Chain A
């Protein structure tokens, strides 16, 4: 875990406060969903998913709009999560994440109940990967 966290240090720039404020728990929760990927990319993909989940929560998507400064922090989480996916995830996973955010934000815009973020993102992490196959 220590080695994994050291690798993530750079990715937490500006977001250190969030780490102790729930991001670390969310990250750990996603570690269970990245076992099919190569060992060195697992922490990055788990962090990407965690950043996106926390980012959407900070923004207040599907609920009350966050105040401007919190929204910007949420935007940065989303952007960084997206960049981590771009650099480390297979194309199918990148697309599945984007589709998950599209479905959540479209539901929020229509004032429909938003699907559970974690479930959607965990499913996205498994996109295009037959069970038991390790990628990247």
Chain B
């Protein structure tokens, strides 16, 4: 079951708003194949109707409603002197409530083979009875969302990671095991597993092997990153560099870089090997750019996107493409998934940037500011007419606790976080749109769900 809201603004006191296409869009995006769409008006003066979209007929309906429940016909509801707790601005709308009683506040529509079941002349209307207003309808979609291949055998990846670490020398395996066992979202392995189920050669065991190798590769880059960024903690535990020194961190990172590339090569799929090798090169090149740009901190949006595309999005894109390639998916499917991963990776990084300014995230606030890491909220806040000058002045000096605290306060006080949130959401929308033109064999809902969860950093 999935749920969402349809929101719209009405422009007249009585109005028939055709929401058929909005419902069709909800069905399409959810991937519901066979089942029901439940609609519920969230208002007492907004009804729902299934009828023909013909303007003169709507006039007839309006006239009918006017005859049955005329405006200003002396409704007791409108006699405010006899009511308690009448809110300020309470409208005179007894007629609208009565008219809603004649309609309905609920509807259930059927879905078959991914299509809304409607007769030739049927459309679905939200019927405004007391407009103009902002309105909401609750939507729930229930039924068969495609085959169960989208249920990820995530435990296979964990078993594969444990198996790989078990055979490695303790000097490298122990630090990596601590990092792996500390958690992480495992988004990249999930992307590999999902996309590896799309083509005709779907093999969950091979997919888990590839997914584990991608996770090891990702963690190897993190170990070096933490040394470069002088980070003391990751996932709530001391970093390898902080705990065991930079020499050990470099060796552990190198070992798992090599091991992961070997495991990937041993899968024997040249396309997969190339896709991930290219991603690793893009990550390393972007790390150099990232550090170089810290001299011009906080930088600009263009530089930010260039770095993020290499540093984060390249591995998301390669994870998607490699899974699809492993499963023998068609080239246009691989290309669409690569674009999906790229957009998702950028959105993910933007959401990650916002966490740095959220006290409820469980992570230390302002760490990116302190380490002068590229961050889109900071870039936008520095451009802000009101708080920008002070932020730029603070960033130009040394950043102690007081300065970091003040910068964080200024960023959260302006529109920067809202802008970034909207931008991340728009990128997720774009990513989901990339999935529309290709046949994903019932896996679209899982990929859409993963995209939405990737930018929802509260969960």
Q: Are A72 and B228 touching (Cβ within 8 A)?
A: yes
Contact with A along B254-273 (1 / 0, CB 8 A): 11011101100110101001
CB of B335 within 8 Å of the partner chain:
no
CB of A10 within 8 Å of the partner chain:
no
CB of A78 within 8 Å of the partner chain:
yes
Residues of B within 8 A of A66 (CB): 250
* Distance A100 CA – B258 CA, assembled complex (angstroms): 9
CB of A12 within 8 Å of the partner chain:
no
Residues of B within 8 A of A80 (CB): 281, 284
Which residues of A, 45-78, contact B by the 8 Å Cβ criterion?
56, 59-66, 68-69, 71-73, 75-76, 78
Which of the 9-residue segments A24-32, A36-44, A90-98, A128-136 touches chain B? A90-98
Residues of B within 8 A of A102 (CB): 255, 258-259, 262
Residues of B within 8 A of A71 (CB): 224, 227-228, 250
CB of A110 within 8 Å of the partner chain:
yes
Q: Are A82 and B261 touching (Cβ within 8 A)?
A: yes
Q: Are B274 and A106 touching (Cβ within 8 A)?
A: no
Q: Are B287 and A72 touching (Cβ within 8 A)?
A: yes
* Distance A86 CA – B288 CA, assembled complex (angstroms): 22
Residues of B within 8 A of A87 (CB): 274, 277
Q: Are A78 and B257 touching (Cβ within 8 A)?
A: yes
Q: Are A105 and B258 touching (Cβ within 8 A)?
A: yes
Which residue of chain B lies nearest to A97 when distances are taken between CB atoms in the complex? B258
CB of B187 within 8 Å of the partner chain:
no
Which residue of chain A lies nearest to B281 when distances are taken between CB atoms in the complex? A79
Which residue of chain B lies nearest to A66 when distances are taken between CB atoms in the complex? B250
* Distance A59 CA – B245 CA, assembled complex (angstroms): 14
- Interface residue from A60, A76, A95 paired with B266 (Cβ < 8 Å): A95
| Least Cβ–Cβ distance between B81 and chain A, in angstroms | 76
Selected A-B contacts with CB under 8 Å, 8 pairs:
A59-B250, A60-B250, A68-B227, A76-B281, A95-B265, A99-B258, A105-B172, A108-B251
- Interface residue from A14, A83, A91 paired with B277 (Cβ < 8 Å): A83
* Distance A60 CA – B268 CA, assembled complex (angstroms): 32
CB of A109 within 8 Å of the partner chain:
yes
| Least Cβ–Cβ distance between B312 and chain A, in angstroms | 16
Residues of B within 8 A of A68 (CB): 227-228, 230, 291
Residues of A within 8 A of B257 (CB): 78-79, 82, 101
B contacts with A: majority SS: helix
| Least Cβ–Cβ distance between B369 and chain A, in angstroms | 19
Which residues of B, 26-61, contact A by the 8 Å Cβ criterion?
none
Q: Are B251 and A105 touching (Cβ within 8 A)?
A: yes
Q: Are A83 and B247 touching (Cβ within 8 A)?
A: no
Q: Are B262 and A65 touching (Cβ within 8 A)?
A: no
Q: Are A95 and B247 touching (Cβ within 8 A)?
A: no
Residues of B within 8 A of A76 (CB): 281, 284-285, 287-288
* Distance A102 CA – B276 CA, assembled complex (angstroms): 18
CB of B432 within 8 Å of the partner chain:
no
Q: Are B262 and A109 touching (Cβ within 8 A)?
A: no
Which residue of chain B lies nearest to A64 when distances are taken between CB atoms in the complex? B247
Q: Are B287 and A101 touching (Cβ within 8 A)?
A: no
CB of B280 within 8 Å of the partner chain:
yes
CB of B169 within 8 Å of the partner chain:
yes
CB of B97 within 8 Å of the partner chain:
no
Q: Are A86 and B265 touching (Cβ within 8 A)?
A: yes
Residues of A within 8 A of B278 (CB): 83
- The listed residue with most A CB atoms (<10 A of its CB), out of B171, B268, B283, is B171
Contact with A along B142-174 (1 / 0, CB 8 A): 000000000000000000000000001101100
Residues of A within 8 A of B265 (CB): 86, 91, 94-95, 98
Q: Are B277 and A86 touching (Cβ within 8 A)?
A: yes
Q: Are A106 and B255 touching (Cβ within 8 A)?
A: yes
Q: Are B250 and A65 touching (Cβ within 8 A)?
A: yes
Contact with A along B278-304 (1 / 0, CB 8 A): 101101110110010000000000000
- The listed residue with most B CB atoms (<10 A of its CB), out of A94, A99, A100, A106, is A106
Given contacts A59-B254, A71-B250, A102-B255, contact A110 B169 (CB under 8 A): yes
Q: Known pairs A60-B250, A72-B228, A104-B254. 19 more at Cβ < 8 A?
A: A14-B285, A65-B227, A65-B249, A65-B250, A66-B250, A72-B291, A76-B284, A83-B277, A85-B277, A94-B273, A95-B262, A97-B258, A98-B258, A98-B259, A98-B261, A101-B257, A105-B172, A105-B254, A108-B250
CB of B252 within 8 Å of the partner chain:
yes
Q: Are A106 and B172 touching (Cβ within 8 A)?
A: yes
